[in-house]
Structure 1
Amino acid sequence: MKYFKALILILTLAFLTISCFEDDDDTPISTSDINDFVWKGMNTFYLYKENTPDLANNRFSSDNDYNSYLNSFSKPENLFESLIYQRQTVDRFSWIVDDYIALEQFFSGISTSNGMEYKTFRFSSTDTNIYGYVTYVLPNTDAAAKGVTRGDIFYGINGTQLTTTNYRSLLDQNNYIVNLGNYNDNNTPDNINDDSITESSQSVSLSKSQYTENPIFINNVLDVAGTKVAYLMYNGFTGTEQFNAELNDTFGVFKNANATELVLDLRYNPGGSVYTAIMLSSLITGQFNGDVFSTEQWNDELQQAFESEDPEALINRFINNNEGTPLNSLNLNKVYILTSRSSASASELVINSLDPYIDVVQIGTTTSGKYQASTTLYDSPNFRRNGANPSHTYAMQPLIFKSLNIDGVTDYFDGLSPETGNVLPEDINNLGVLGNISEPLLAAAIAKITGTGRSINKKTRSVDFLEDSKDLLPFAKNMYTDKKLPAGL
């Protein structure tokens, strides 16, 4: 659109009714300037551009029309949200942030944490009281030091009962007192109608601090009836060079131990780097180097640009090395993957993309249902980090493409589900010890491996799960990529 050249000059002028933001040097920048970045970025990259009338290339008849549109939004967040296509159903994962430093740190595995990872639940969909239970505790954190353990139940924060309206704000604080309770099943084996949480006098004071989480939470090789079974609880596709190298080294240990089976535990993994998903899948296999792992579908304009300039860029292939280092691939024809509703994005990409090639035995419950990927857009001429406007730290993380496996399977909005005989929710009253062969989900996988297990469907205390601790971070469940873009853009 030719009027954009003139628009850049127009937007440098101060408008009569305009908000301003200031950077650390107190250099003001207008809301309209940031809004201009938001609209242009979404107009170029947004996966659902064709479904969003305000992103049409012919949406504005003149520079003044465009300028008036930008000034109708008092905050960049408001403009961004207005451009999201069906927030509650289709696009649940696009975000804008006003501090891209924190976003970059998160993608490197750095965040603020007290170490207590948890899920929240209620006893029915009409219940307004919320409770939580600890799923795992990160090492070398405040929660670990103060004895918080998997399975701990809590009902309140700072003496206030958690409810549907306050639990997010209470748990989002940097410092708080966790009020502990006890799960009361009233001696009924399956029926939760009479279950309750009994308040106790116990509490623990927790503080968050900057923390780098290693996604490799547990890794060991189990000797089960003479079979070497590798077990890996992998809690994030962080994508840094360090953690990718450690992942390869871990598979080297599995390989040297002559492991012939693998249980990959992704039940708490919110996803992350597309590259790391490809790498992990290539470590599991190894016999498909160069074959199609997944393909990408962008908005119509970008799809045509890729197909014209570099169609190979739309294809992700299995690999045999990481930055030149050979992968310690296991060459497996079957893998057992443990999942829950907290398994999202890159976790689902691994399951969906491996499925056409090997036998993927999914055990647990249905995954989150995120098949789209995003990228970080900065306020720079090419939307990359280099040359970003120094006057503010806004950045966007919009959905830019959706992934398809080699058979074209995508759009699994409702998640990926285990086969009927492999459905096994975590039992809040019998969580077990992670990594122990008697932990229910791992035990179910081992039973499948040894051939001693029948259908593992069974009733559990099916409370109404809401969110996990990662859901407090809006960009935690993103699947992201740093793919180079067509030069013609």
Structure 2
Amino acid sequence: MQISKLAAFLSIAIATTGLSACGGGGGSSSSGPAQPPVSNGPTWQPGVYASEASLVARCASPRSGVDPFTGQAYPDQAGSSLEEKLWLRSWTNNTYLWYDEVDDNNPANYSVLGYFDQLKTSATTPSGTPKDNFHFYQPTDEYDELTQTGVSSGYGVDWEFVQNTAPRELIVRFTEPGSPARLAGIPRGASVKTVDGIDFVNTTSDAEIDALNAALFPEDNGTTTRFVFTLVDGEELTVDVTSADIDVSPVQNVQVLDTPAGRTGYFQFNTFIRTAQPDLIDAFDLFVDENVTELVIDLRYNGGGLLALASQVSYMIAGPNQTNNAIFETTQFNDKSPNIDPVTGNVIRPTPFYDSEIDYNAGYLLNTLLPSLSLTRVFVLTTESTCSASESVMNALRGIDVEVVQIGSSTCGKPYGFYPTDNCGTTYFSIQFQGVNNKGFGDYADGFFPSESPNYDYELPGCTVADDFSQALGDPNEGMFSAALGYMATGACPEPVAPAPVSPDALSRKVAESSRAIINPNALRERLILQNKINEPVIKGRE
């Protein structure tokens, strides 16, 4: 749903003022009092904000026709880039969580997207990282295609950006089932060596770096690229891969294992998008049928998504007794909106643990009850890419005293979220709320940390384990999964593995790093979309 369309019910008010000038004494003028200049549109006045409804959908390049995802005509009207910027300014001032930490700069000094980029706080967390590290935008048609259909364009590779300046390192995390990359046999852990003959690791040529970005993240389907990979065993793999529409498979590698701790379920879960619901239900149906008593959820690459889906997952883990009358998450907005959601205009109500299927298109809770395991403990595999809605699942379960054992590394730290908001063909993502669990806790801006002796609310019992690219995801011998199975049986963490020594050559190469980075902005935005909580104006109740 395009959230900007909700702005229609907001009151429309444009304040105008008239000024008059009086002539001095001692004379007369046949021309009468001087008249103020006539303005052809809204202007920027420091500290004065027009209502966002008076500026919404006033576009420099308005769209025409019908939105293919909603079936409704685009709301765009002829306007100007200044009106787009002033809408961003008013929208930020009204809904941004830290609106009072945003500088009110003159929009004339920026492009529309450049102006949005600076409409955020510059404050940092206690660790010194930016408090708002996920402020971004994406073309609306691309965002809708990704989140509503589960389709994106590319090769079907999920990349690990180890280092994107020379000497670069880009590793394959996994490939999507049925994708060109999967069909080409590109395995997890493969490291890019050359792309179309260009030295990916070491080049410092601007022209070659541009070519690398274009090849790694093709804008069009049908682009064929030759990759040379170095595999984990040192062998090389050369493949030609052609870009195509990729069906994202959020749920993968579902399995049940017999372990010393009992019947144990495992699944890899990559993103909380609406198309994940059927596969999640199938996975939990299998776990129920197989009498699973322990569960490992692999969230190491799950950047987040829909809070309602995160609530459903949490219910399927915890079951009806532990979630009865409990709160999954309560959203807290800025101090202008203590009781009313500033985006929807609705009274702020806590998100419950949803126990039924959801019709995400209509926004209704259905009558079909979800399967559930009623577990009192769950294992979660995490990395710095585990964000937002993934962290909400961890936080919500802890809020009802389900033990969450964390295996891996610290999560990204996103107790915040937003309503994706379309205006004039661009969907904007700006932090609008913070979530807290049933116990009122939500202060994990630097992430959740695994600890063998946790002392703080953001420290969880578990083990620090590096991501193991030498084994396939879902393999019981893979480092994180193996550590979870071991802890499950013994309550102890594996012995830490000493890091490999760094060669003098590698150290000298790091000194000569290039300032040019390999990362396509559109690909980065796509990754960021899935590293945030996405709120939608659901759920209306059972049909």
TM-score relative to the length of structure 1: 0.78
Q: How far apart are 1:407 and its partner, in Å?
A: 3.0
CA distance in 2 between counterparts of 1:252 and 1:201 reads 41
What is residue 52 of structure 2 aligned with on the other side?
Answer: none
What is residue 404 of structure 1 aligned with on the other side?
Answer: 436
Whether 2:484 is the aligned partner of 1:433: answer: no
Q: How far apart are 1:5 and its partner, in Å?
A: 4.8
CA distance in 1 between counterparts of 2:156 and 2:195 reads 16
Q: More deviation in 316-325 or 250-259?
A: 316-325
Picking from 81, 86, 108, the partner of 2:122 is 86
Q: How far apart are 1:220 and its partner, in Å?
A: 1.2
What is residue 56 of structure 2 aligned with on the other side?
Answer: none
CA distance in 1 between counterparts of 2:116 and 2:272 reads 27
Please tell me whether the aligned partners of residues 130 and 155 of structure 1 are also in contact (alpha carbons under 8 angstroms): no
1:425-464 correspondence to structure 2 within 5 Å: 425-428=466-469, 431-451=470-490, 454-461=493-500
Whether 2:176 is the aligned partner of 1:143: answer: no
1:268 maps to amino acid: Y
Please tell me whether the aligned partners of residues 137 and 426 of structure 2 are also in contact (alpha carbons under 8 angstroms): yes
Whether 2:405 is the aligned partner of 1:361: answer: yes
Please tell me whether the aligned partners of residues 378 and 404 of structure 2 are also in contact (alpha carbons under 8 angstroms): yes
Relative distance call for 1:74 and 1:53 in structure 2 (3 A) is closer
Please tell me whether the aligned partners of residues 421 and 427 of structure 2 are also in contact (alpha carbons under 8 angstroms): yes
1:174-323 correspondence to structure 2 within 5 Å: 174=219, 175=223, 176-181=225-230, 202-225=237-260, 227-238=262-273, 240=274, 242-286=275-319, 287=321, 288-306=323-341, 313-322=348-357, 323=366
CA distance in 2 between counterparts of 1:11 and 1:316 reads 45
Q: How far apart are 1:395 and its partner, in Å?
A: 2.7
Gaps of 5+ in 1: 56-68, 185-197, 380-391
- Indicate the RMSD between aligned Cα atoms, in angstroms: 3.6
Q: How many residues align?
A: 431
CA distance in 1 between counterparts of 2:229 and 2:473 reads 21
Q: How far apart are 1:21 and its partner, in Å?
A: 3.1
Please tell me whether the aligned partners of residues 178 and 203 of structure 1 are also in contact (alpha carbons under 8 angstroms): yes
CA distance in 2 between counterparts of 1:225 and 1:353 reads 28
CA distance in 1 between counterparts of 2:311 and 2:145 reads 22
Find the residue that maps to 2:337 and give its secondary structure: helix
Q: How far apart are 1:449 and its partner, in Å?
A: 2.1
What is residue 415 of structure 1 aligned with on the other side?
Answer: 447
2:168 maps to amino acid: I
Relative distance call for 1:415 and 1:471 in structure 2 (3 A) is farther
1:325 maps to amino acid: T
Relative distance call for 1:460 and 1:337 in structure 2 (3 A) is farther
Find the residue that maps to 1:415 and give its secondary structure: coil
Relative distance call for 1:110 and 1:79 in structure 2 (3 A) is same
What is residue 60 of structure 1 aligned with on the other side?
Answer: none
2:403 maps to amino acid: D
CA distance in 1 between counterparts of 2:218 and 2:257 reads 40
Higher-Rg structure is 2
Find the residue that maps to 1:112 and give its secondary structure: strand
Please tell me whether the aligned partners of residues 419 and 536 of structure 2 are also in contact (alpha carbons under 8 angstroms): yes
Whether 2:95 is the aligned partner of 1:45: answer: yes
Q: How far apart are 1:442 and its partner, in Å?
A: 1.3
What is residue 103 of structure 1 aligned with on the other side?
Answer: 143
Q: How far apart are 1:155 and its partner, in Å?
A: 2.6
1:481 maps to amino acid: N
CA distance in 2 between counterparts of 1:318 and 1:468 reads 38
Please tell me whether the aligned partners of residues 99 and 120 of structure 2 are also in contact (alpha carbons under 8 angstroms): no
CA distance in 2 between counterparts of 1:46 and 1:93 reads 13
TM-score relative to the length of structure 2: 0.71
CA distance in 2 between counterparts of 1:82 and 1:452 reads 47
Gaps of 5+ in 2: 1-10, 18-37, 44-58, 66-75, 124-128, 358-365, 453-461, 503-509, 511-516
Please tell me whether the aligned partners of residues 471 and 477 of structure 1 are also in contact (alpha carbons under 8 angstroms): no
